Amino acid sequence: MLAVLHVVASINRNVGGPAASVPGLAMALADCGVRTSVASLDYQEHGKQTRVRGVTNVTVVPRTIGKRLRGWSPSFGAALADAASKGVDVIHHHGLWMVPGIYARRTASRFGVPLVISPRGMLDPWSLERGPVRKRIASLVYERRNLRAARVLHATSDMEARAIRDYGLTQPIAVIPNGVDLPEDSNMTTPDALQTRFPELENRRCLLYMGRLHPKKGLDLLLDAWRTLAPDFPAWHLVIAGPDLIGYGAELQTTVAGDPALRRSITFAGMLDGLAKRAALAHAQLFVLPTRAENFGIAVAEALAHRIPVVTTTAAPWSDLATHECGWWVAPESKAVSGALRSAMERSPAELRAMGERGRAYASTHLAWSAIATRMLDVYRWIVAGGPKPPCVRET
């Protein structure tokens, strides 16, 4: 039985994509018979950790000084070594610019096992431009050494693979998207739970944004677009849901509070989870992610799985939305986002439902976790045992 140890700085629910994608991959691999462990730091101020069933969970709560020093935690390094000592064939690290990446590399070297690294969008140009001095220092001190130690790099899209090559890395790249859970119709909830909490949504058509409240996500573009759209579409209401980790959401709410047209037609729902999240996805007739940079966009995949057409930007790798007629893929500019939303909201509920069904069919075919895990398992086996190169692996 193959044994894989996944290492990620955090899977606390409020931190964003990796908190969903890493546990999802780990659980799907476990379902394939892989002996799987997930090691992470528990940043308790960022919500509960995502529950990872069927795997061994290795968790260390960082000290205050460790939080300030990018996840520095000798206890976490020791926990990784202990987990690897029980037998591991591959160590798979997710994310960059954090000290746990050093521990992952050192543990792989110490036990003589191959290292796989998933940058998780952190080599994209937009991301590299944020805090460039700190990242250049980190690159010189440890991150390039970590990356060059990887036997294989994992990209979730062609766009991310190009960013990895542009960073000067030459190892094989496995291009495998994130997966998504496909809810059974019997498990779908009604929007009642959301409408009870936010009565202004009753009898309104819902445009939903769900994700971190962060400048990267283009929410300022969305507000600019909505300012022109709201008067023309009084039956529609915009719901902005997600955690505010850096205070950006408070800035957005101040902007909305000062504009009566926006104030009447926008609800800030905060972080939604469990029943509330399912209710929001059940209520939404349209989903929007106006992002400036995205290596994948797990929220888009979730919307498609829930039969919701999507509007997103060309800064995210979702050209298939247009190809499969389940959404709009436009430039990351307020005018383009506004035009796509106008086109979408002019459609009847029946037309949007038909687009949603096409999106669900696309997700079922391309994004089911079972298929994603099988492709990743092929990569692990190739690294460990050799043989023919899996079709998803690119060496140039």
Angle at 322 between CA 162 and CA 154, to 5 degrees: 25
The reply to whether 3-179+369-394 and 185-366 are identical in fold is: yes
Q: What is the pLDDT of residue 391?
A: 97
Contacts of 162 (CB under 8 A, 6+ apart): none
- Domain 3-179+369-394, classified CATH 2.40.40.20, yes or no: no
Distance (Å, whole) CA 223 – CA 66: 37
- Pseudo-torsion of CA 310, 16, 373, 176, nearest 10°? 60
Fold of domain 185-366: Rossmann fold (3.40.50)
Residue 107 phi/psi, 5-degree rounding, is: -70, -40
Give the residue among 248, 20, 55 at the shortest CA–CA distance from 240: 248
Chain mean position to CA 384:
28
The residue type at 123: L
Q: How far, CA to CA in Å, does 118 sit from each of 42, 154, 160?
A: 20, 5, 10
- Crossing angle between the packed helical segments 74-85 and 100-111, to the nearest 10 degrees: 30
Contacts of 390 (CB under 8 A, 6+ apart): 174, 375, 378, 379, 382
Q: What is the pLDDT of residue 104?
A: 98
Angle at 351 between CA 238 and CA 290, to 5 degrees: 35
Averaged pLDDT in 10-residue chunks for the chain of 396 residues: 96 86 96 97 91 94 91 96 97 97 98 98 92 93 97 97 97 97 72 84 95 95 97 97 93 93 93 90 96 94 97 97 97 97 97 98 96 97 96 94
Give the residue among 78, 24, 12 at the shortest CA–CA distance from 48: 12
The domain ranges of the chain are: 3-179+369-394, 185-366
The residue type at 213: L
Q: What is the pLDDT of residue 15?
A: 84
Chain mean position to CA 83:
26
